[in-house]
Structure 1
Amino acid sequence: MVTTRRIEYPVDGTTMVGHLALPGGTDRRPAVLIAHEGPGITDHQRLRADRLAELGYVAFVLDYHGGGRFIEDREEMFARVDELLADPDRMRALGGAGLAVLTAEPRTDTSRVAAIGYCLGGTMALELARGGADLKAVVGFHPALTTTRPGDAANITGKVLVCVGSEDPFAPAEHRLAFEEEMRAAGVDWRLHLHGGALHSFTHPDLEPDPAARPGIGYHRASAERSWRAMLDLFEEVFPSAV
């Protein structure tokens, strides 16, 4: 039986509010850190954590805005995203604070930890890995692929999976090529799955395509399901016989 609880933790004087999901039992389990999409934590990420706990993983959704806040205003949200994209050290610190919560959980097997993220959260997971965090796997769902410090990819120790849509305006072909070159130069064990016809945020079922209201953004069920399966395949590879 899965149990969940709200976790409050401080980062530089700000109270962050995350979501922890634990699988049944008392033994130590492999663990997954989850970084939310740009606007903030929603039930979508909480349910992802719960689903992973059902599969036997300890899962924690970190908060990188503070207070569990969801940013409704698009301009404010994009300004926040741009601020963090320009500051990889800040992203790594926010991600690292969430990782510290996850690894402090007694049920977590700290030798078997992965990080996944959606949108900016996917970029945060990648930046954590670039910063040298001990992660066996990193998965980015429709993340921004560029970084101001590509040379730091040499610090990545785990396996990397990135899933992006072919029609995502935030991950154009030139960004994908730059990411490939970054991974190749660093000798990372990486894979990039390009989902044909998918837009940005293709994993989010509440974001049906609406070109007028949300150009370039929209749910794509087949790609959402395929990318989830690809993530689980990677977990089976790095955590053999774990669940």
Structure 2
Amino acid sequence: MVTTRRIEYPVDGTTMVGHLALPGGTDRRPAVLIAHEGPGLTDHQRERADRLAELGYVAFALDYHGGGRFIEDREEMFARVDELLADPDRMRALAGAGLAVLTAEPRADTSRLAAIGYCLGGTMALELARGGADLKAVVGFHPSLTTTRPEDAVNITGKVLVCVGSEDPIIPVEQRLAFEDEMRAAGVDWRMTIHGGALHSFTHPDLDPDPSARPGIGYHRASAERAWRAMLDLFDEVFPTMV
């Protein structure tokens, strides 16, 4: 049976509020860090943690805004996103604080770690890997693929998967190609899946496509399910003793 708990933890004087989900049993299990989308930690990412725990993983959904806050105002949210995209050290610190919470959990096998993220959270997971975190797998769902420090990709130790919508205006072809060059130059074991017909945030079921309200953004069920299966396939590859 899955058990969950709310965890408060400090980052530079700010109290973050994350969500930990534990599988049944008492043994140590592979552990997955989850980084939320730009607006904030929601039930969607908490449910992802719970679902991973049902599959036998220890999972922690971190908070990178503070107080478990959800940013309603779009301008404020985009300003926060731009601020973090311009500061990879800050993203790595925020993700690293969440990783520290995860690895402090006695059920977490610290030799079998992965990080996944959605939108900005996916970028944050990639930056955590670029910073040299000991991760066996990194998965970004519709993340920004840009970084101000592409040379740091040589520090990536695990396997990388990014899942991108073919119609995502936020991740254009040029950005994909630059990411390919970055991964290739660093000798990373990487893969990219392009999901035909999918927009940005295609994994989020609350975002039905509405061009007038959210141009370029919308849920695409088939792609969301395929991307989730691709992640699990990668986990099967890097955690071969998972039962």
Distance (whole Å) between structure 1 residues aligned to residue 75 and residue 165 of structure 2: 23
The SS at the match of 1:25 is coil
Distance 2:32 2:169 in 1: 28
Number of residues paired by the alignment?
243
| Consecutive aligned runs of 4 or more in structure 1 exceeding 4 Å deviation | none
Distance 1:135 1:160 in 2: 10
After superposition, the C-alpha distances for 1:188-224 in whole angstroms (9 at most, x for unaligned) are: 0000000011000000000000001000000000000
What's the offset of the Cα at 1:241? 2.7
Following superposition, the deviation at residue 76 of structure 1 comes to 0.4
Uncovered stretches (5+) of structure 1, i.e. residues with no partner? none
Q: Which residue of 1 aligns with 2:42?
A: 42
Q: Displacement of 1:58 after TM fit?
A: 0.1
Partner deviation per Cα, 1:120-176 (whole Å, 9 max, x = no partner): 000000000000000000000000000000000000000000000011111000000
Matching residue of 2:144: 144
Cα distance in structure 2, aligned partners of 1:50 and 1:171:
29
RMSD of aligned Cα (Å): 0.4
SS in structure 2 opposite 1:175?
helix
Q: 1:6: how far off?
A: 0.1
TM normalised by structure 1 equals: 1.00
Separation of aligned partners in 2, 1:59 and 1:35: 11
What is the rounded CA distance, in whole Å, between the counterparts of 1:93 and 1:242 in structure 2?
Answer: 29
Please report how far the alpha carbon of residue 21 of structure 1 lies from its aligned counterpart in structure 2 after TM superposition. Answer: 0.1
Q: CA separation in 2, counterparts of 1:166 and 1:127?
A: 23
Work out the CA distance in 2 between the residues paired with 1:72 and 1:135: 32
- What TM-score results when the alignment is normalised by the length of structure 2? 1.00
Give a deviation string over 1:219-240, Cα, whole Å, max 9, x none. 0000000000000000000001
Deviations 1:91-126 (Å, cap 9, x if unpaired)?
000000000000000000000000000000000000
- Alpha-carbon separation, structure 1, partners of 2:195 and 2:61: 25
- Distance in 2, matches of 1:91 and 1:109, equals 24
